[in-house]
Structures are given as structure tokens and as C-alpha cells.
């Protein structure tokens, strides 16, 4: 299969996306995943808005407890991303047997990771929270939240792979329905358990954690119900099997291990940033925690594009349609840039209104709004990096590249910049956040270079197999071969 010319038809939305097939697939995958991610981000917004009525210490406690729990969520997303890469490529090849094996292996890994994080979070919560803040009240509240919330890790692990399989089958609307249902349950239980309505005891921070655990359990049950219905409709008897050959296991390990290392080290870096904010002061930590749900909501609003990149481009690569893979990647990048600019504008307009719903000191409210302004400025760059590094590069299975890029961004630039800004220059928390934005530029440039190099390698392959001929072969082949050889010699050979 060679470089095919993609048809561009119609105006409006399909004209912007490039073709009707791409627009349809994007809507089937990205839109439900985006809405689902936004609903998940809404969990923390609801928790924090309600907890925000109890004061800055409660806001900081739930924020720091949730920050450590986010390491599990990020590591779990690495496993599901590896599953999405393999399952989408196998389904693109029509191999349900291999897709089932990928699902089974990733499910087992997910459960093992959940067991480790549940043990650590329930047994060692106190020393963990001590790393984030020296405030005794904040630390105690964070410990209470984390020890309870940890019991959501198992249902999250179970539902994560089921949702991934549904997305790869282009049935992402079902996880969306499950998330909407669990959000309603979470909201209702928050109201009852945090403040003690309906004759129930007022549990405060612990009530928010209990509500989140219950909502996650319901979501897990619904997702597996939807998966069973979908499999029956497709006449697919999904069996739990681990029968990989040695070469297949090596391929899986080459994809998963760099992803795990990359996501874990990135999340660990994010937790270092939280510790920096926490040690600046309780008010600074409370302000940052107030803005975190909005940051997650904005990134979640466009996370569907990253997920769509991994699945759509993965399928094209599985069938060796390199031209379509490249063009889809460019379309997704354009969509992400346009949408992130719109969301940043909305944040600038409505950010101040958001901060008024918290019952906190005026200084904390003013700092929170300033942090939202900073995030609105840096958000477009962040989204481009997410789509490029989190979706496009990973779709080809080159997760060792993303590991190197993430390490450079987080530990080569981010952590040193954070310590320099907070403890040497002693900038306020908004200045620290803006300084940390500098970590995104070098990795973004490097990821773009690697993506271009992968395209050049694909062009060289097409020329060698005779799919591109004549003057076009000479023009494309020579330029691509030279660019690919140069980048490989200077960087990629190390991986």
C-alpha cells in the first residue's frame, strides 16, 4: 500500500477535517472520550467546590491527597495507552485473537499496579503527605482523603481496559454513558456525605472520597455491561488468554516499559511541583488546588484528540497507510490548536467568576485567578505537546522516544526551573507556574522533529518498494532519506 491521495470533500466541518471518513471516525472516538475526560475532571471540581466551603486547609488537603493518587491514574493510563496501540493495530489487521491477548495482558498489569498503589496509599499515607506540606491540619486532611480514595484503584483498573477496548471498537459512547451516570451518583453522594444531609453524618473530606469510590464502582459495572453487549453484537467471544510468543512479549515490553517509565516519571515530576507549591505556603497551595480542576477540565476537553491520534493513526500504520497516518496527524494538530485557543479565551473571560464559588480568603481568590490567566496563556502549547507526544508518537509504538522526551522536559528543565523559581528567586506561585511553562518548549520541538523523521522513514520505505515512482520518487526519496539519516545519526540511534 503506497501513498494515496486523501479525498477532500465538502466544506464546513468535513472541509476542515479533510475528508468525511476522518471526520466521522474522529467524532466517534474523540468526542465521547473528550466528554468522558471532562466528566472525570468534573469529579474533582465537584469535590473541591463542596470542600471549598470548609476552608483553605480542606482544599489543600484534598488537593495534595488527590495529587498522589493521580500517580496511579497516570501509570494506569500508560497501560491502557499500550493496550490501545496494540489492540488498534491488531483490529486493523483483523486479528481478534491477538487483540484479546493484548487486552488480557494489560488488564493483568493494571490490576497488579492497582494492588501496589492501594497498599502504599493505605499504609503509608502519613509520611507521603509529609513530603507535600509542613502544615499539620492540611497533612491530616490529605491523609484521610487518600486512605479512603485508594479503594477506587481496583475498579478504575478494571474499567480502564474495558473502556480502551470499547474505544478501539469505535464504541466510545458507552464509557461516556457510564461516566455520566457515575458523575450523577458522585454529585448526589457528595451532597449527602460531605455536609451530612438526609440524616447521614457529616464526613467532610472523607465523605468526598467515599462518594468518588462509590461512583467509580458503579462506572466499572456499567462499562463491563456495555462491553458484554457490544461483544455479543460483534459475535466476539472475548477470552482471557496470556499465550504470547517470546517475540510478541518482547514487542509488548518495548512498548509498555518505556510508557510506564515515562508516565511514572512525568507524574512524579508533577508531584514534585505540588510539593513546591505546598512548601511555598498553605494559601498558595490552596489557590493552585482551586485551579487544578479547571486545568484538568481544559486538557480533558482536548484529550480525545490525543486518544484519537493513538487509535486512528495506529490503525493506519497497522495497514501501512503511511500517507493517511501523516495527514491525520496534521489534522489533529490543527484541531487541537484551534480548540485550545478558544478554550483559553473562555477561561480569561470566566476565570474570575469561577474563583468566587469558593469560600476562601480574598488573597487566595486573587492568586487563583492569576494562576488561571497564566494557564490560559500556556495552554495551547501544552495541548500541542499532548497530542504530538501523547498520541501521534505513541501510535507507532516508538515509546522509547517519548520516554526520552518526557525525561528531558520534566527532569531536565521542569524540576530545576521549579526549585530555582520558588526557593532561589522566591517568586510567587503564579511566577513559579509561568517559569515551569518553559519546560514544554524543548520537548515539543524534539517531538515534532521525531514525528517528521518517522514520516521521512516511511517515505524511504515507499520509494524502496516502488510505491512512489518517477520524479516524485527522486524528489521525495532523496530529501526524506537525507533527513532521516541525519536525525537518526544525531539522536535516534541512541534508542
182-231 confidence digits (pLDDT tens): 888 888 898 899 888 888 888 888 898 999 899 999 999 999 999 888 88
Q: Residue 452: its pLDDT value, please?
A: 54
What span, in angstroms and rounded, lies between the C-alpha atoms of 315 and 351? 39
More confident of the two residues 149 and 63: 149
Collapsing DSSP to helix, strand or coil, 359 comes out as coil
Nearest to 256 by CA among 418, 397, 409, 118: 397
Those residues whose C-beta lies under 8 Å from the C-beta of residue 184, and which sit 6 or more positions away, are none
More confident of the two residues 232 and 462: 232
206-215 confidence digits (pLDDT tens): 898 999 899 9
pLDDT, average across residues 254-267? 80
Q: What is the dihedral of CA 246, 251, 253, 258, to 10 degrees?
A: 160
Q: Residue 391: its pLDDT value, please?
A: 65
What proportion of the chain, given as a percentage, has pLDDT over 70?
Answer: 74
Distance set, CA 157 to CA 32, 68, 115, 154 (Å)? 20, 16, 10, 5
Q: Residue 470: its pLDDT value, please?
A: 46
More confident of the two residues 466 and 344: 344
What span, in angstroms and rounded, lies between the C-alpha atoms of 108 and 240? 10
Cell of 56: 483553605
Count Cα neighbours of 242 within 13 Å in the Cβ-side half-sphere.
5
CB 387 within 8 Å of CB 303: no
* pTM summary value: 0.67
Q: Residue 307: its pLDDT value, please?
A: 67
What span, in angstroms and rounded, lies between the C-alpha atoms of 368 and 452? 39
386-434 confidence digits (pLDDT tens): 777 666 766 555 556 666 777 777 888 888 988 998 889 888 888 898 8
More confident of the two residues 158 and 449: 158
25-47 confidence digits (pLDDT tens): 677 666 776 776 776 666 666 66
Q: Residue 300: its pLDDT value, please?
A: 75
Nearest to 167 by CA among 334, 25, 263, 322: 25
Amino acid at each position: 500500500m503506497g501513498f494515496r491521495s486523501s479525498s477532500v470533500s465538502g466544506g464546513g466541518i468535513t472541509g476542515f477535517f479533510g475528508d468525511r471518513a476522518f471526520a466521522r471516525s474522529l467524532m466517534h472516538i474523540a468526542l465521547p472520550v473528550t466528554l468522558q475526560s471532562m466528566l472525570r475532571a468534573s469529579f474533582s471540581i465537584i469535590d473541591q467546590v463542596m470542600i471549598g466551603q470548609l476552608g483553605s486547609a480542606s482544599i489543600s488537603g484534598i488537593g495534595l491527597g488527590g495529587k498522589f493518587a493521580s500517580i496511579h491514574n497516570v501509570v494506569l493510563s500508560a497501560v491502557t495507552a499500550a493496550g490501545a496501540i496494540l489492540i488498534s493495530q491488531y483490529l486493523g489487521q483483523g486479528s481478534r485473537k491477538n487483540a484479546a491477548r493484548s487486552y488480557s495482558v494489560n488488564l493483568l498489569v493494571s490490576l497488579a499496579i492497582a494492588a501496589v498503589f492501594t497498599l502504599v496509599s493505605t499504609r503509608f499515607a502519613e509520611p507521603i503527605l509529609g513530603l507535600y506540606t509542613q502544615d499539620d491540619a492540611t497533612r491530616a486532611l490529605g491523609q484521610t482523603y487518600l486512605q479512603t480514595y485508594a479503594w477506587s484503584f481496583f475498579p478504575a483498573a478494571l474499567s480502564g481496559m474495558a473502556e480502551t477496548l470499547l474505544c478501539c471498537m469505535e464504541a466510545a459512547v458507552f464509557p461516556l454513558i457510564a461516566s455520566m451516570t457515575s458523575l450523577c451518583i458522585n454529585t448526589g453522594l457528595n451532597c449527602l456525605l460531605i455536609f451530612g444531609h438526609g440524616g447521614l453524618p457529616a464526613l467532610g473530606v472523607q465523605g468526598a472520597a467515599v462518594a468518588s469510590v462509590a461512583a467509580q464502582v458503579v462506572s466499572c459495572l456499567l462499562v463491563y455491561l456495555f462491553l458484554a453487549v457490544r461483544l455479543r453484537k460483534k459475535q466476539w467471544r472475548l477470552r482471557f488468554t496470556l499465550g504470547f510468543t517470546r517475540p510478541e512479549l518482547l514487542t509488548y515490553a518495548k512498548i509498555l516499559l518505556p510508557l510506564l517509565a515515562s508516565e511514572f516519571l512525568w507524574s512524579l515530576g508533577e508531584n514534585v511541583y505540588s510539593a513546591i507549591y505546598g512548601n511555598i505556603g498553605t494559601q498558595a497551595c490552596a489557590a493552585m488546588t482551586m485551579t487544578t480542576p479547571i486545568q484538568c477540565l481544559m486538557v480533558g476537553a482536548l484529550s480525545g484528540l490525543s486518544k484519537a491520534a493513538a487509535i486512528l493513526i495506529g490503525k493506519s500504520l497497522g495497514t501501512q497507510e503511511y500517507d493517511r497516518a501523516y495527514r491525520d496527524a496534521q489534522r489533529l494538530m490543527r484541531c487541537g490548536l484551534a480548540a485550545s485557543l478558544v478554550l483559553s479565551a473562555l477561561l480569561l473571560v470566566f476565570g474570575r467568576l469561577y474563583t468566587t464559588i469558593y469560600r476562601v480568603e480574598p488573597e487566595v481568590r486573587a492568586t487563583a485567578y492569576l494562576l488561571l490567566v497564566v494557564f490560559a496563556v500556556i495552554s495551547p502549547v501544552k495541548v500541542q505537546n499532548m497530542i504530538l507526544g501523547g498520541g501521534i508518537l505513541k501510535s507507532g509504538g516508538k515509546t522509547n522516544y517519548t520516554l526520552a522526551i518526557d525525561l528531558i522536559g520534566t527532569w531536565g528543565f521542569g524540576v530545576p526551573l521549579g526549585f530555582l523559581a520558588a526557593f532561589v528567586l522566591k517568586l510567587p506561585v503564579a511566577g513559579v507556574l509561568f517559569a515551569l511553562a518553559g519546560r514544554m518548549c524543548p520537548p515539543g520541538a524534539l517531538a515534532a522533529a521525531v514525528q517528521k523523521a518517522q514520516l521521512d522513514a516511511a517515505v524511504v520505505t515507499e520509494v524502496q518498494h516502488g510505491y512512489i515512482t518517477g520524479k516524485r520518487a527522486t524528489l521525495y526519496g532523496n530529501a526524506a532519506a537525507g533527513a532521516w539519516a541525519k536525525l537518526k545519526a544525531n539522536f535516534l540511534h541512541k534508542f
